[in-house]
Amino acid sequence: MPCRTTTSEIWYLRKLLHYRPARSYEDLRTVDGHQYNTFREAAVALGIATADKEAIACLKEQSEHQTGVALRRLFVILALQGAEGQPMWDECVDELIEDLKPPHGTNVAITMALKHIQQMLYAHGRCLADIGMDNIHDGTTELDRLLNQWDTDELQRFVSDNVDVLTDEQRTAYDAVVDSVQQTSGRLIMLDAPGGTGKTFTTTLILAKLR
């Protein structure tokens, strides 16, 4: 099974490399003859890491380079990999709400951050209660959560940076789909082209624009 390379996995990879040498990633993930699927599982099996302690340390370290959305995404990744949510939240709440606190105040920022974390967990079929925290009522519907799962500022930057590099044919397809949606004309458009001609790139850009 291929090794996942999330930010948290890189953290555990480094812990293992400091602890012992290895000839391969598979060797590094093997403890007492059993090959684990992740570096985290191997580190815990060796006793050099505990999920909560190391997750908190990982968040603290990454807070020096990441804030806001990125840090809350890491929080969710760590929780989905087994770290308990409440200890991470209690120790790192200031870092997790840093981007929300100035304009909103502490109490509102906490609520907004918890809602954001809960929305990301929903995308994985989980909720705050599943990671050892109290659920928060956000008053949203499934459609609301679907609409709010994207960072619109990030999507707008992606569109602005890439729309001008479309080829003429890609731009024709892009404009046709976007115009059809924006004008609610209900056209059925099929994108068909040989491999390597940019179908995925064009489709990704269309989705970013519409979202």
Q: How many residues does the chain have?
A: 211
Torsions phi, psi for 104 (to 5 deg): -115, -20
d(CA 180, CA 8): 42
Instruction: Identify which of 63, 92, 96, 81 has the alpha carbon closest to the alpha carbon of residue 6.
Output: 81
pLDDT at 97: 93
CA distance 131 to 76: 9
Question: Mean pLDDT by 10-residue block, N- to C-terminus, for the chain (211 residues)?
Answer: 51 83 92 90 81 84 87 92 85 92 82 91 87 75 63 83 91 92 87 85 89 79
Where is 31: in which H helix or E strand? strand 30-31
CB 120, CB 145: distance < 8 Å:
no
Residue 142's pLDDT is 63
Task: State whether the Cα torsion 29-92-96-119 is positive or negative.
Answer: positive
3: nearest Cα among 39, 32, 30: 39
Tracing tokens 């012992």 back to the chain, one arrives at 20
Cα distances (Å, whole numbers) of residue 210 to 20, 23, 166, 168, 204: 49, 47, 17, 20, 10
User: What is the phi-psi region of residue 188: left when phi exceeds 0, alpha when psi lies from -120 to 50, beta otherwise?
Assistant: beta
**pLDDT, tens digit, 9 for 90 and up, residues 19-37:** 888 999 999 999 999 999 9
- pLDDT value of residue 3: 40
Which tens digits make up the pLDDT trace of 69-95?
899 999 999 998 878 788 899 999 999
User: How confident is the model at residue 24, as a pLDDT?
Assistant: 93
Quote the pLDDT of residue 5: 44
